[in-house]
Amino acid sequence: MVRKLICLLLALLLLGSLALAEEEAEPVDPRIQPAIALSFDDGPSEYTQQVLDILAEYDCRATFFMVGTNMNNMPEMVKTVYESGNEVGLHTWRHNDLTQMNADAIVRNLQLCQNIVLEQTGTTARWLRPPYGKVGPGAYGACNALGMYIATWTIDSRDWETQNAAKIEKEVMGQLHNGAIILFHDTHSATVEALRNILPQIVEKGYQVLTVDQLMSFRESLKSATHYYHLDMNKLRPLE
């Protein structure tokens, strides 16, 4: 009986360490295995958990660029996103057009967002996704002051526009490339539906599906207050 218990305990320990090892699998250089980053803007919303579930099913990661007022309504979702191994990024407090604000106003705006992120995750966001993809001097000044990076995208799924799963899938799969940052919104059911078809295809093609920060960590250098669209394959750090 004691022996059986010990065996069971050992088996459980082994399973535990295997699960841990899987969780900690480090991304590899995109020259060895191609990689893309997924990003979801405008949440958190009632669809965010469904997106997280699909990501987990295929062992994929993504960055969620959240709107402050939505984080304020669903603070526990900020924590859930972070604790599931995904990244929390900022998308301003009220989906503000950053070309209409000065640096001081943007700093205050982003700090309101960071307060929630810090409270829920114990850390702050590194990346800003400017609403409408619009950046001006104010945004660069604010990101310089806060040490944040700016990320837009190279592939727009146009999900909010078409709200049609087949069209979203066609848009994304037709443009897939190594180093891409793909734009989605976790605010529509069509996006969730499309993701169920898109993710297995991307994984099948051999791509790693990463957060923006994971993908961009392969650059030779990252400068705050700089606008990145994707991972530039000509600017990677040397292979180890």
Is 186 among the residues that bind Zn ion (CB under 5 A)?
no
Distance CA 13, CA 202 (A): 33
Centre a 10 Å sphere on the Cβ of residue 37 and count the other Cβ atoms it contains: 27
Is 159 among the residues that bind Zn ion (CB under 5 A)?
no
The gap between the terminal CA atoms of the chain, to the nearest Å, is 50
Size of the site for Zn ion (CB under 5 A): 3
Is 42 among the residues that bind Zn ion (CB under 5 A)?
yes
Closest CB to Zn ion among residues 92, 114? 92
* Min CB(91)–Zn ion separation in Å: 6
Name the active-site residue from 185, 186, 213, 230: 185
Question: Among the candidate windows 42-50, 106-114, 149-157, 198-206, which touches Zn ion by CB under 5 A?
Answer: 42-50
Q: Is 213 a catalytic residue?
A: no
DSSP 132: G
Phi, psi for 182 (deg, rounded to 5): -105, 130
Helices H / strands E in the chain, number of each:
10, 9
* Min CB(206)–Zn ion separation in Å: 30
**List 35, 36, 38, 41, residue binding Zn ion (CB under 5 A):** 41
Distance CA 61, CA 211 (A): 5
Residue nearest to Zn ion (CB): 41
* Min CB(185)–Zn ion separation in Å: 7
* Min CB(183)–Zn ion separation in Å: 9
Which residues, 6 or more positions from 37, have their beta carbon under 8 angstroms from its beta carbon?
62, 63, 180, 181, 182, 209, 210, 211, 212, 214, 215, 216, 231
| Coil vs helix vs strand at 160 | helix
Closest CB to Zn ion among residues 35, 67? 67
Question: Among the candidate windows 40-48, 101-109, 111-119, 153-161, which touches Zn ion by CB under 5 A?
Answer: 40-48
Output the six-digit token pair for 15. 């399973």
* Min CB(187)–Zn ion separation in Å: 9
Q: Is 41 a catalytic residue?
A: yes
Helix or strand (DSSP H, E) at 37: strand 35-41
What are the Cα distances from residue 111, in Å, to 48, 105, 178? 23, 10, 33
Closest CB to Zn ion among residues 31, 134? 134
Draw the binding track, 110-149, toward Zn ion (x: CB under 5 A; -: no contact): ---------------------x------------------
Q: Which residues bind Zn ion (CB under 5 A)?
A: 41-42, 131
Active site residues: 41, 185
